[in-house]
Structures are given as C-alpha cells and as structure tokens.
Amino acid sequence: MAAVGELGLVLRRLRKASNLTLETAARTADVTKGYLSKVESGSAMPSIAVVSRLADVYGVQFSDIFIPQGERGPISVVRASDRVPINRNGSELGYVYEVASLNKADPRAEIFFLTLPCIEGEGLPRYRHSGEEILLMLEGQIRFNFVGTDIVLGPGDCIQFEASFEHYGVAIGGKEAKAFVVIISERLRGS
C-alpha cells in the first residue's frame, strides 16, 4: 500500500497519465487548483471523498490509488490488526476511515470501517461523490443527514443511498459510533 507521504505523487502521476492540467482536474473534482496542488505536493491530505472524486476524474478504481494492480489477486484478507487509516483530513474532528479490503484485483466495491465522532455545528463535513453507498451500523448511534433529512441509526441498522446527494453522519449519545461502509462507484456498477 502506498505510504501516506506518497499519495500526492500517485495522484500527480495519475493526473498526468490522464493528460489533464492541474486546473482541469481540480475543477472536475470540485476542488480548487491550489488545494489540488497542495495535495500533489504532500502538504495537504485529501479526504476520502476528494480521493474518490479524483479516482473518478482519472478513470481508475479508488483502491488503485493505494495499491498497484500488480500487487492484487483474487482475494483480499485484512485482519483487524492490519486495518490502515486512510483519511487524516478531518481527524481533528474524529472521523477515521480504515480500509477493509486491500489486495483484491478488480474490486466491484470499496469497503471501509468508519468511526464517527460526536460533534455538532455548522462546520460539519458534508459529502457528495459518485456511486451508491451502503452503511451498516456496528456500534453506537448516529444522526445521519441525507439532503437535509435526519435519520437516527443504531447497531444493526443499514442504509443504502445515492452518494451523489449531500450526506453526512455524526455520533449521538455521548460516544463515537462505528459503521461498515461499502461504496459502489458509478464505473463499477455496470460490471
């Protein structure tokens, strides 16, 4: 798996291989040119939503950004002790994404464990990305907001939705919550 410090270099290589300028890639991924430049230089860590949008822009699978095709096979086993956090942007708010599948060749979905913090306020991160998302609650409770509508979810509850609509979740009840998340991107749905 690519080290965190290598992420910017991988994204720059993918952009160049796609024959896109920094400005075009940034505009298409709905980020600023300056921000994408910082990501590529390693001075900013993108959120999972930004990496997902860049994967769409560059026409690659999300996991290709972290693991080269030559290191993949027909199965992926990730032990609980080997799960790797991939998103440090927002870590000051307590959001943690851990990859649940690493080495599967040609995956049809991206799979994560997500820890959601107890936070409130106007500055909560909102997400929009291509594809469909499934969130299965493992521990705790969350207030899940989908296009302005709040839904309370607890252990065992599952929600499936179009991820191109604005959404976010925060833990409620005074303690963080954990969920299992599956993202099926647009380019993988037809497979």
Residue 50 shares a structural domain with residue 26: yes
Structural Rg of the chain based on CA atoms: 16
144: tokens are 């899940």
Residue 140 shares a structural domain with residue 92: yes
Residue 78 shares a structural domain with residue 136: yes
The answer to whether 105 and 75 are in contact (CB under 8 A) is: no
How many other CB atoms are found less than 10 A from the CB of residue 86?
22
Residue 39 shares a structural domain with residue 105: no
| Of 129, 105, 75, nearest in space to 191 by CA | 105
Residue 18 shares a structural domain with residue 98: no
Instruction: State the pLDDT at residue 57.
Output: 92
Domain boundary among 15, 32, 65: 65
Q: How many residues does the chain have?
A: 191
- Mean pLDDT value across the chain: 82
Which residues are registered as beta bridge partners of 3?
Answer: none
Residue 87 shares a structural domain with residue 174: yes
CATH of the domain at 110: 2.60.120.10
Which range among 36-45, 77-86, 105-114, 156-165 has the greatest average pLDDT? 156-165
Look up the pTM and report it. 0.68
Maximum C-alpha span of the chain: 48
Q: Which residues constitute the domain of residue 44?
A: 4-65
DSSP run (H or E) holding 139: strand 132-139
Instruction: State the pLDDT at residue 87.
Output: 54
146: tokens are 């989908």
Confidence of residue 122 (pLDDT cuts 50, 70, 90): low
Task: Name the pairing type of β-strands 141-146 and 167-172.
Answer: antiparallel
**How many independent structural domains does the chain possess?**
2
Instruction: State the pLDDT at residue 49.
Output: 74
Residue 99 shares a structural domain with residue 154: yes
pLDDT at 161 over 60: yes
Domain boundary among 41, 65, 89: 65
Residue 33 shares a structural domain with residue 123: no
Domain boundary among 65, 88, 107: 65
Instruction: State the pLDDT at residue 152.
Output: 97
Instruction: State the pLDDT at residue 94.
Output: 72
Residue 78 shares a structural domain with residue 153: yes
Task: Name the pairing type of β-strands 96-99 and 110-116.
Answer: antiparallel
Residue 139 one-letter amino acid: E
CATH of the domain at 50: 1.10.260.40
Residue 57 shares a structural domain with residue 104: no
- List, in order, residues 6 or more apart from 70 with CB less than 8 Å away: none
Residue 89 shares a structural domain with residue 12: no
Residue 95 shares a structural domain with residue 28: no
